[in-house]
Structure 1
Amino acid sequence: MERRSFIKATALGLAAAGASSAAFAAIETSQGGAVKPTGPVTSKIPQHPDMKYRPLGTTGEMVSLIGVGGFHLAKPGGATNAEAIRIVHAAIDNGINFCDNCWDYNGGESEVRLGRALEHGWRDRVFLMTKIDGRTAKSAMHQLEQSLSRLQTDHIDLLQFHEIIRMDDPGRVFAPHGALEAVLKAREQGKIRYIGFTGHKSPAIHLHMFTVADAHNFHFDTVQMPLNVMDAHFESFEKQVLPVALAHGTAVMGMKPFGDPFIVDSKVASPIEMLQYPMNLPISIEITGIDKMPILHQDLQAVRTFVPMTPEQRADLLARTARVASTGKTEKYKTTHHFDSTFKNPQWLG
């Protein structure tokens, strides 16, 4: 069977079976809570007995079930520089080994703060990810070099193309002299290890990115998308993109469990339920913003108490969220430009 036909058939099969339940049931969990990978594990990052870990797709890396979101480390009105560093250190000491960030977060201050937090040996204890907005080779390389400097590191473990939120973004990334050209060069130079993409606007755009990648015979190591109790009902990444990503062998990274803060403000479920819903899906990791120590403790509790939902529990939770979710009003990242930093700053695209 040709590769594209196989992927399509696999995706349809997963969708028909119910990706969230069937695919998760296929994942075997050890007594320690770490999902057993299907391929060889090459990760050298330390693990903690109280944290759950899952394989990052086919990379051989094992990552904590939750990761520290970079935006909130310098969110206006949030943590101070010293508090952000304490949060990162406490997260790592409790087994979180994945740090998220982005070139454009808070004018670069999020990367600067994380770089400071990872000084003096802390860098060796984490899998470091950041994102770039550039769509041209020139802008992408410029942003990558800035990120390396701010993060005080000679390499980034995972670099993702940020805000794939327009239908022409995939074509621009893969075009001659496009961003992928620079990123591949950076990978050859040892400046990055893995490549992925992220976006929050529309499942159709994510699917188009996979289609364009297939046409160029390129495999994404990771993909990041909103996965939460509301997404399941409205323009759903879970229903449309998750099965395709799994069929590609691309690690799925969930984000926006609280909708920053529109989902959690709806109060249709508890924060722990909102955190644990995406954990019930066949994802590698869930990225969540942490700007206060009590939020970190809440996230750690969600991981430590997590067990896969029964079909009845899942149905009950989705029934409670269906009415509120149906219009997309709690998912403003899909329906408005509220979260679209590159819409407000198109010059970042290059």
Structure 2
Amino acid sequence: MSGNTSNSEMLYRVLGSTGQQVSAIGLGGWHIALKHVDEELGIRIIRTAIDRGITFMDNCWDYNGGESEIRMGKALRDGYRDKVFLMTKIDGRSKKEAARQIDESLQRLQVDCIDLVQHHEIIRYEDPHRVFDEEGANVAFIEAQKAGKLRYIGFTGHKDPHIHLHMLEVAASYGFKFDTAQMPLNVMDAHYRSFAKLVLPELVKQNIGVLGMKSMANGILLRSNTVTPIECLHYALNLPTSVVIAGIDSMDILDQAFEAVRTFQPMNDEQVRILLAKTAEAASSGEFEPFKTSSVFDGTAQNPDWLGEEPERIQQLMSA
């Protein structure tokens, strides 16, 4: 977490080894196209966020059937594209499917180049092997990078920190280093299957940009009645994150994100301990982190066709 700077409303941090400076709060792409958020409001949220200093835009090929990327594409017209660091994620594990999804995202977002594209939902131990297969998605990513369609490459996951570590190990075995990694970082995570304890130190060591998500898990954490939204954001901001991605579906929630930045002060170990003590009991079983303990958040489990075909050599082994 180096190179912190600020303007009147936002903090900025360096994104790992990329050297890119990004806003400490990122705008989550999923919320901007939910059923209760019409297109006009979604675009207004994005543009107001940018006007006030948020530069990191999160999105995904599969969010709301593509509507999230379409809305963001519309919002980034009229000079807004040049003010942001644009990220999206794709689900394809095969080279063919990944390439198709990258091109579709480019069309929806109405851009020639996406700043960061991430392998989405690395939630199974086989995912890293499929991504790095000779017919795998990372081949498509590297080709797209060489073609100027994307700048940086990362991965995301929400299931188990050991799978994140496995992804880093498999990547290293292929001589590849990710620019970013995205994971749940919240006041419950510290107590159960913790990304903060297991993955974060390795990312810091390798100078890989840390993208925190699910700081409130779409409000589920708040139902534990143990912490406030501001405390959730302060905890995530206090970790060595480059960006804390926040789901924002109203102007009030946008204001809340800026209020968290305005009131943020680095916490010492004792302050962190006191905050985490509030959630220890509620967090012990993973009940309030259903993305770790159920398949409810697993879009690729519900839509396996998004992943593309298994590698041909695996199919041949199975039919031999």
TM bin, normalised by shorter chain, reads over 0.9
Name the residue aligned to 2:239: 281
Q: Does 1:57 align with 2:16?
A: yes
Q: Does 1:74 align with 2:8?
A: no
Matches within 5 A, 1:239-254: 239-254=197-212
Q: Does 1:342 align with 2:297?
A: no
Name the residue aligned to 2:115: 157
Distance 1:343 1:260 in 2: 20
Distance 2:306 2:205 in 1: 32
- How many residues get paired? 308
Distance 2:193 2:34 in 1: 28
Distance 2:224 2:77 in 1: 39
Matches within 5 A, 1:215-230: 215-230=173-188
Q: Which moved more, 1:240-249 or 1:127-136?
A: 240-249
Letter of the 1:159 partner, please give it.
V
Name the residue aligned to 2:318: none
Identify unmatched segments of 5+ residues in structure 1.
1-23, 35-47
Name the residue aligned to 2:53: 95
Name the residue aligned to 1:272: 230
Name the residue aligned to 1:108: 66
Letter of the 1:116 partner, please give it.
K
Residue 313 of structure 1 and its aligned partner are, at CA, apart by: 1.4
Name the residue aligned to 1:84: 42
Residue 311 of structure 1 and its aligned partner are, at CA, apart by: 1.9
Q: Paired residue for 2:98, among 117, 124, 140?
A: 140
Distance 1:69 1:189 in 2: 27
Name the residue aligned to 1:302: 260
CA contact (8 A) 2:3 2:14 kept: no
Q: Does 1:186 align with 2:144?
A: yes
* Same amino acid, percent of matched pairs: 55
Distance 1:291 1:96 in 2: 15
Residue 156 of structure 1 and its aligned partner are, at CA, apart by: 0.1
Name the residue aligned to 2:274: 316
Q: Where do 4+ consecutive residues of structure 1 move more than 4 Å?
A: none
Residue 265 of structure 1 and its aligned partner are, at CA, apart by: 1.6
Matches within 5 A, 1:229-244: 229-244=187-202
Could you say what secondary structure the match of 1:328 adopts?
coil
Q: Which moved more, 1:309-318 or 1:86-95?
A: 309-318
Residue 167 of structure 1 and its aligned partner are, at CA, apart by: 0.4
Identify unmatched segments of 5+ residues in structure 2.
309-320
Q: Does 1:169 align with 2:132?
A: no
Residue 262 of structure 1 and its aligned partner are, at CA, apart by: 1.2
Deviations 1:36-87 (A, max 9, x none): xxxxxxxxxxxx44210000001110000100000001112x2110000000
Q: Paired residue for 1:209, among 161, 167, 170?
A: 167
Distance 2:56 2:176 in 1: 25
Deviations 1:104-159 (A, max 9, x none): 00000000000000011110100000000000000000000000000000000000
Q: Quote the RMSD (CA, aligned, Å).
A: 1.0
Could you say what secondary structure the match of 2:18 adopts?
coil
Deviations 1:309-347 (A, max 9, x none): 122211111111000000000000000001000000000
Distance 2:294 2:34 in 1: 20
Name the residue aligned to 1:18: none
Distance 1:244 1:109 in 2: 35
Distance 1:108 1:265 in 2: 29
Letter of the 2:254 partner, please give it.
L
Could you say what secondary structure the match of 1:58 adopts?
helix
Distance 2:62 2:170 in 1: 25
Distance 1:74 1:165 in 2: 24
Distance 1:63 1:240 in 2: 24
Could you say what secondary structure the match of 1:254 adopts?
strand
Matches within 5 A, 1:15-54: 27=2, 29=4, 33-34=5-6, 48-54=7-13
Q: Paired residue for 2:154, among 196, 201, 217?
A: 196
Residue 261 of structure 1 and its aligned partner are, at CA, apart by: 2.2
Could you say what secondary structure the match of 1:82 adopts?
helix
Distance 1:83 1:28 in 2: 33
Residue 28 of structure 1 and its aligned partner are, at CA, apart by: 6.5
Could you say what secondary structure the match of 1:313 adopts?
helix
CA contact (8 A) 2:31 2:249 kept: yes
